[in-house]
Amino acid sequence: GQNIDQPTEMTATEGAIVQINCTYQTSGFNGLFWYQQHAGEAPTFLSYNVLDGLEEKGRFSSFLSRSKGYSYLLLKELQMKDSASYLCVGGGYNKLIFGAGTRLAVHP
């Protein structure tokens, strides 16, 4: 089967670090994406991992362990504008499988 699991909601404080976890089961796995989506807006691409390990891009980092079916997104130096949903997305042969998203609320 194909399934993506991630927490529904998280809260964090401005300036802090937060880690959003994701476990997945996808057939024909072809990489793991993270997207950011502000309420009512289109998802925007954050990161892509196809090999095990950590990919760092500015304040955002993403990690993948294929053997464990596990990924996380790490957000550092949180800003208020980081309040959004974060979608864990499994890449398949002919489509992406989206998790329901983790709604992150950053407060002062």
Partner 1 sequence: EAQVTQNPRYLITVTGKKLTVTCSQNMNHEYMSWYRQDPGLGLRQIYYSMNVEVTDKGDVPEGYKVSRKEKRNFPLILESPSPNQTSLYFCASSKRQGNYGYTFGSGTRLTVV
Residues in touch with partner 1 (CB under 8 A): 4, 30-31, 33, 40-45, 48, 50, 87, 91, 93-101
The least CB distance from residue 9 to partner 1, in Å, is: 11
Burial class of residue 8 (count of CB atoms within 10 Å of its CB; 0-12, 13-18, 19+): exposed
Instruction: Please give the Cα distance from 87 to 26 (Å, whole number).
Output: 15
**Least distance from partner 1 to the Cβ atom of residue 75, Å:** 19
Q: Which is nearer to partner 1, 70 or 98 (CB)?
A: 98
Compare residues 78 and 102 and give the one whose CB is closer to partner 1: 102
Measured CA to CA in angstroms, residue 104 lies from 62, 66, 73 at distances of 16, 25, 12
Q: Which is nearer to partner 1, 17 or 100 (CB)?
A: 100
